[in-house]
Structure 1
């Protein structure tokens, strides 16, 4: 059942949700924003659902969007204030086959981490919510590593006290806090490099930091195809996120075409069904020029999602379904902040 009035659905609320909605009401966020909500598509962007502070967490902490407990609370909030729709609903609306409800929200995950299956999927089932997971196909059932996870593992497990940067600097640390900050700086320095240079630097990092990575460590971070099929058969949709996660405007155009086309073909082969949507790696404005958007449309995708922050009005979605914005979720967000960023603040953009 969809919300069609200004009053949210009633249900037995936890104390946390009561405090959250009290906050939203007292600050006027929900009340003021309701009219803006009704004619926009709020697409939530998650990556990992895990506890980034557990002792054995040795991959990239900033990639965690929410602790499982917080994710459950966020889904409860969505059930109260939004109508969660499926990707198929959005595509059918674009094709004129149906209407979208007011206050429409779409839940998305990028990359295809195993915790999407272990932690997020049971909670989505609890609320009967559909979602879309964007798969980087070269990292499924392989030991291929995302550069940020490989780097994080190396920095967390090294006994070295310094590292070289592409700009010629050599930075050293004296304690774990300094090492952690330098690790983040190193990882973000990789992001701005041309793809080939980035891969070269990342491939040398384990030797530079004198770290041995366990066999199949990275394979065990990601979902496998059996888990993908299980989720697909139970209401979770999937989309393309390239084969190797390059920033598409930083590789030759034909390489970008191959990344986009082959990831789509692989997912469709594994599912035995067509897929309709794509998420751009990194997803900022500079990462998805007109050539890239044309390739995405040309291989048969109907919609594509950026990481430019905020919701997209339904009018904007109709005008260009290949640049739909998303609301980026971080594990650093409190429930009050989550209410704010999904409600009002991100709607006050130019």
Structure 2
């Protein structure tokens, strides 16, 4: 355990180019200690200095207990995370990460259809290995803008004709209408990639059974204006600590409770990482995250307090 509860301090052992503008980072314990287990689809929060925290999917081998691997795309409009990894991070540096957390779990199914775009291959990479170990049928369709920019392409080709790789500069885009137009029985779809691709996956997969199409986003979706129009104050009561505060319009529940003195788990503040998920004891959440499934939202048992608000005047949270 590292600098604070739920974190590890690891050392950067290796950085390696995996594609144009994509570098992989291998992290290990400085003394060679075994690292906590993780499952395909998991991510870690990486603390990159100056208060910058970014979430990266684990894309190594879960059976390897000696190290974690992530891959980072250099973003032209970097907010500091990818630029730091590419320009500053070097072997031998110590870095703080969270324990692995999985909001994109690979559920059991006889068949899987994996759809990845660009750096979105990272959570999918470990999933196809797990599907193979389970003896499930699976296929991967992986697309990107250029052939040189496709990450881990050589590793993927080892799986033979189950893997279909296309690049816009050669073959064009993934045929999402053809892949998703007709629902497949006993099949789960897992997809990660840029927002335009994920929106298309949602649209073309709309007639699949509920819960069959599962997505992970690297950035929060743009929220419609009506999400914030007409907001009202919300009284937030913390059932365990006894803290009570009012979240004013335009101010998150997370910020409100921190100002009231609570120390709360959080990372992205955009509703995509799941670290601030909180149990709801009373009241009806107004969900605005990109983590919970439709069924979980309808149940209303938990919420992401960094972005979500309430449909009732009061919420009682298990804090």
What TM-score, normalized by structure 2, do the two folds share? 0.30
What TM-score, normalized by structure 1, do the two folds share? 0.28
The structure that is helix-richer by fraction is 1
